[in-house]
Structure 1
Amino acid sequence: MTQTPTPATPVHWKVVVDAGDPHAQADFWAAALRYVVEDHSALIGKLLGAGAVPADLTVESHGRRAWRDLAAVRHPDDPYEEESGTGHGRRLLFQRVPEAKTAKNRLHLDLHPGAGSREEEQARLEGLGARVLRRVEEPSGSWLVMADPEGNEFCLH
């Protein structure tokens, strides 16, 4: 039997980043991208109240309950679910893992702050805890390879 193809619906996605401290990483990337840290406290409160999750799966972050091992940031203009605080657009999710980063990323973010503002943005990112790993000068352009506080590489164009 041949199935009729369904209309092409874009796939919802998020970038998931392994982290030693997901809340610190979320704070860094929220500031770096000018995003907001997602607030899941209403959902967590509901689940705790119903006895559906134990309290030891949560921590206090920014004066509210948060998942111990997960933190996310989203673009401030994108839609989100009010009941859970979960973004439905541009989003990074940081999940706790036991091991430290050991090799070069296979995936990274490229940040494009706008023409003529790379040096100012570099200084701002370094103030947040990033560091420059190297400068790249090629015929196709120049950029900085930087690392976030846990060593994950990203490029600043």
Structure 2
Amino acid sequence: MEPQEPGRVSWQLTIDAHDPHAQADFWAAALGGELEDNSQLIATVLEKGWAQESDTLVHDGRRYWRDLVAVRGAGPRLLFQRVPEEKTVKNRLHLDLHVGEERIRPEVQRLVALGALEGREWREVGGHWIAMTDPEGNEFDVE
């Protein structure tokens, strides 16, 4: 992330995950992004002895850090980091995917095919959305 002018900050959303690579695959497909390619950096770090092969893994033919992977090209950068514990309570923060009224149902079906679970459908004065969870149970809405 690059520095910004005073009063503005660069940011990313970091998401704890039991399996960061599976989560990154899901969200890259869901949002139309791609996994960030750090393979050259990783090769340099390994060559200099600053990390071990065991700190990495090969995923879809490319070398990644074992415990971190990012998704780019779909809005702010999403960084998935491995944590040992499972998700146990409702998130205090979630993503809203804005697709438009006519695309809600087809988008929900697409996301279910990617591994999401469909939850409750809401119709209120302020809008219409369907609550969902990603493959690790993180809540998000399609509206």
Shared fold by TM > 0.5?
A: yes
- Matching residue's letter, 1:58: T
- In structure 2, which of residues 119, 122, 131 is the aligned counterpart of residue 136 of structure 1? 122
Letter in 2 for 1:41: S
Q: TM-score, normalised by structure 1?
A: 0.85
Aligned match of 1:46 in 44, 47, 53?
44
Q: Distance in 1 between matches of 2:6 and 2:64?
A: 35
CA contact (8 A) 2:33 2:73 kept: yes
* Equivalence map 1:1-150=2 (5 Å): 8-75=6-73, 90-150=76-136
On the 8 A contact 2:101/2:128 being kept in 1, the answer is no
Unaligned 5+ runs, structure 1: 1-6, 77-88
Give the counterpart letter for 2:109 in structure 1. Answer: A
TM-score by length of 2: 0.93
Q: Percent of aligned positions with the same letter in both sequences?
A: 54
> RMSD of the TM alignment (CA)?
1.3
Greater alpha carbon shift after TM alignment, 132-141 vs 146-155: 132-141
After superposition, what is the alpha-carbon deviation per residue over 1:22-76, rounded to whole angstroms, capped at 9, x for unaligned? Answer: 0000000000000111111100001101111111110011201100001110116
Distance in 1 between residues matched to 2:102 and 2:42, nearest whole Å: 43
Pick the structure with greater CA Rg: 1
Secondary structure of the corresponding residue to residue 102 of structure 2: coil
Q: Which runs of 4+ in 1 moved over 3 A?
A: none
Q: CA deviation at 1:115?
A: 3.9
Give 1:9 shift. 4.2
Structure 2 gaps of 5+ residues are none
SS at match of 2:96: strand
> 1:104 is aligned with what amino acid?
K
1:10-30 C-alpha deviation (Å, 9 max, x unpaired): 201000000000000000000
Higher relative helix content: 2
What is the DSSP-based 3-state SS (H/G/I as helix, E as strand, rest coil) of the residue aligned with 1:117?
helix
| Distance across 1 between alignment mates of 2:7 and 2:45 | 31
Rounded to whole Å, the distance in 2 between the matches of 1:130 and 1:113 is 16
